Each structure stands twice: as structure tokens, then as C-alpha cells.
């Protein structure tokens, strides 16, 4: 099956899992820096052009989400803010800010691991990336390596609660 928006980006489960594993690696990098373990990668023409992990704690910046960091890198790589022909892989369903940025960046496709019932803006609370009132919509694939992505987050917050209880 081909991505509906670009014949340059073949869509298959094996590639989705491979790129999601890269996003999971990015999430571990965020965790090592003391941040919530969320990671992502952006693909263009089958090649990784950007990687990002949460850096809110590291940078003291509320907008330093994995997706925003990667979008900035991807735009620099492409040389344009229009990221047509790109697919983003992210371990957690994007929040409203990130979902809006994906629409504004004109990415073709979003692949994410696990739903976010508290702030998810693709399925859980909103569907910003496919809202017909907006001028651009993304193809969405969810649940790729879902249990691994969910477990990574659950383990992180379990450790956090244990650490905080000991203080």
C-alpha cells in the first residue's frame, strides 16, 4: 500500500516498526536526561531526516516536545517549512500543540505508538490532524509497538512516584 499523499513513501508494517524502534530509542534519551520518555523520528523518501526527544526539563521550555524539536530539524534539512512527503513516528499520541504543528508543517503521515487519554489530540480528546475544517490533514496509523511505548511511559512514571514518595 502507498501513502495516499506521496508515492515516494511506501507504507508497510515492517518499516513502521523499524522507525518506531528508532523513536523509542529517542524516548530513552529523553529519560536519561530526566524528561518524560517521548521520542520521534521524521522520514523523507525512506531516510531519517530528523530525530527528537522531549527536552522540556533540559531546556526549561514548555514547547520542547519531541515533535517540535524534530520538526525544526526536518524543516532545516528540507530547506522549507512545508514538510510534504514526510512521515513522523512518535511514541505517544501528539498533544494539541504538536498535532497543530504537524498540520501546519504539511506532513503526509503520522504514526504513533500509544494513545494519550489525558492530552491526546489525534484520537483520545480531539482529532486535530484530520479535522476537515483545517486546510491540511494527515494520514494516521496508531498502535505501532503500542505495548512497548506504553510500558516505557508507565515504568517511567512508576519510578517517578516511587522516588517522590521517598522524599
- Examine the residue annotation and report whether 57 is marked as an active-site residue of this protein: no
- 135: DSSP letter: S
Catalytic hit among 31, 67, 93, 139: 67
What's the rounded Cα separation, in Å, for the pair 9 and 43? Answer: 9
**Of 140, 130, 137, which Cα lies nearest the Cα of 84?**
137
Angstrom CA distances, 122 to 26, 47, 51, 60, 154, stand at: 21, 25, 21, 26, 20
Alpha helices in 33-117 (DSSP H): 56-59, 66-78, 96-104
Active site residues: 67
Amino acid at each position: 500500500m502507498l501513502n495516499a499523499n506521496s508515492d515516494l513513501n511506501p507504507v508497510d508494517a515492517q518499516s513502521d516498526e523499524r522507525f518506531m524502534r528508532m523513536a523509542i530509542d529517542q524516548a530513552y534519551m529523553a529519560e536519561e536526561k530526566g524528561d518524560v520518555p517521548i521520542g520521534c523520528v521524521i522520514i523523507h523518501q525512506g531516510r531519517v531526516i530528523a530525530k527528537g526527544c522531549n527536552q522540556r526539563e533540559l531546556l526549561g521550555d514548555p514547547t520542547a516536545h519531541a515533535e517540535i524539536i524534530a520538526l525544526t530539524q526536518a524543516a532545516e534539512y528540507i530547506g522549507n517549512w512545508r514538510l510534504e512527503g514526510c512521515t513522523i513516528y512518535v511514541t505517544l499520541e501528539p498533544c494539541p500543540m504538536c498535532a497543530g504543528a504537524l498540520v501546519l508543517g504539511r506532513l503526509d503521515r503520522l504514526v504513533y505508538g500509544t494513545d494519550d487519554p489525558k492530552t491526546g489530540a489525534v484520537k483520545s480528546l480531539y482529532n486535530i490532524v484530520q479535522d476537515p475544517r483545517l486546510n491540511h490533514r494527515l494520514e494516521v496509523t496508531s498502535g505501532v509497538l503500542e505495548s512497548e511505548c506504553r510500558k516505557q511511559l508507565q515504568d517511567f512514571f512508576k519510578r517517578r512516584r516511587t522516588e517522590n514518595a521517598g522524599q
